[in-house]
A = this chain, B = another copy of it.
Amino acid sequence: MSTSSLNLGLIGAGRIGRLHAEHLCRRIPEARLLAVTDVNEAAAHDCAAQLGLPQWGGDYRKLLDDPRIHAVVICSSTDTHTPLIEAAAAAGKHIFCEKPIDSDLGRIDRALQAVARAGVILQIGFNRRFDPNFRRVRQAVVSGEVGMPHQVHIISRDPSPPPLDYIRKSGGIFLDMTIHDFDMARFLVGAEVEEIYATGSARVNPAIGDAGDLDTAVVVLKFANGVVGTIENCRQAVYGYDQRVEVFGSAGSIVADNIYPNSALVQGRSSIYRDPPLNFFMERYVESYLREMSEFVRAVLEGKPSPVSGPDGRIPVVMAMAARRSIVENRPVRLAEIG
Distance from A54 Cβ to chain B, minimum over Cβ atoms (Å): 15
Indicate if A133 sits at the interface (CB-CB under 8 A).
yes
Indicate if A331 sits at the interface (CB-CB under 8 A).
yes
| CB 8 Å contact bits of A127-147 with B (1 = contact, 0 = none) | 000001101110010000111
Known contacts A277-B272, A331-B332; A248/B232 CB under 8 A: yes
Distance from A247 Cβ to chain B, minimum over Cβ atoms (Å): 10
Determine which of B199, B204, B270 lies in contact with A222 in the assembled complex, contact meaning CB atoms within 8 Å: B199
Determine which of B197, B232, B269 lies in contact with A239 in the assembled complex, contact meaning CB atoms within 8 Å: B269
Q: Is B262 within 8 A of A256, CB to CB?
A: yes
Q: Is B228 within 8 A of A230, CB to CB?
A: no
Distance from A304 Cβ to chain B, minimum over Cβ atoms (Å): 24
Indicate if A26 sits at the interface (CB-CB under 8 A).
yes
Q: Is A263 within 8 A of B258, CB to CB?
A: yes
Provide the bound-state CA to CA distance between A313 and B135, in Å.
42
Q: Is B140 within 8 A of A269, CB to CB?
A: no
Indicate if A123 sits at the interface (CB-CB under 8 A).
no
Q: Is B226 within 8 A of A203, CB to CB?
A: yes
Distance from A327 Cβ to chain B, minimum over Cβ atoms (Å): 12
Indicate if A2 sits at the interface (CB-CB under 8 A).
no
Indicate if A268 sits at the interface (CB-CB under 8 A).
yes
Provide the bound-state CA to CA distance between A203 and B266, in Å.
21
Q: Is B251 within 8 A of A257, CB to CB?
A: no
In the complex, residue of chain B having the shortest beta-carbon distance to the beta carbon of A274: B272
Stretch at the interface among A107-115, A149-157, A290-298: A149-157
Provide the bound-state CA to CA distance between A101 and B208, in Å.
44
Indicate if A307 sits at the interface (CB-CB under 8 A).
no
Indicate if A328 sits at the interface (CB-CB under 8 A).
no
| CB 8 Å contact bits of A8-46 with B (1 = contact, 0 = none) | 000000000000000000110000000000000000000
Q: Is B248 within 8 A of A237, CB to CB?
A: yes
In the complex, chain B residues whose CB is within 8 Å of the CB of A267: 237, 239-240, 242, 252-255, 276
In the complex, residue of chain B having the shortest beta-carbon distance to the beta carbon of A132: B262
Provide the bound-state CA to CA distance between A26 and B147, in Å.
43
In the complex, residue of chain B having the shortest beta-carbon distance to the beta carbon of A275: B271
Indicate if A162 sits at the interface (CB-CB under 8 A).
no
In the complex, chain B residues whose CB is within 8 Å of the CB of A250: 203-204, 236, 238
In the complex, chain B residues whose CB is within 8 Å of the CB of A151: 216, 218, 232, 234
In the complex, chain B residues whose CB is within 8 Å of the CB of A157: 248
Q: Is B257 within 8 A of A238, CB to CB?
A: no
Q: Is B264 within 8 A of A232, CB to CB?
A: no
Indicate if A77 sits at the interface (CB-CB under 8 A).
no
12 more contacts with CB within 8 A, not counting A133-B262, A150-B216, are A148-B203, A150-B203, A197-B220, A230-B232, A232-B248, A238-B251, A239-B253, A239-B269, A240-B267, A252-B269, A253-B266, A271-B275
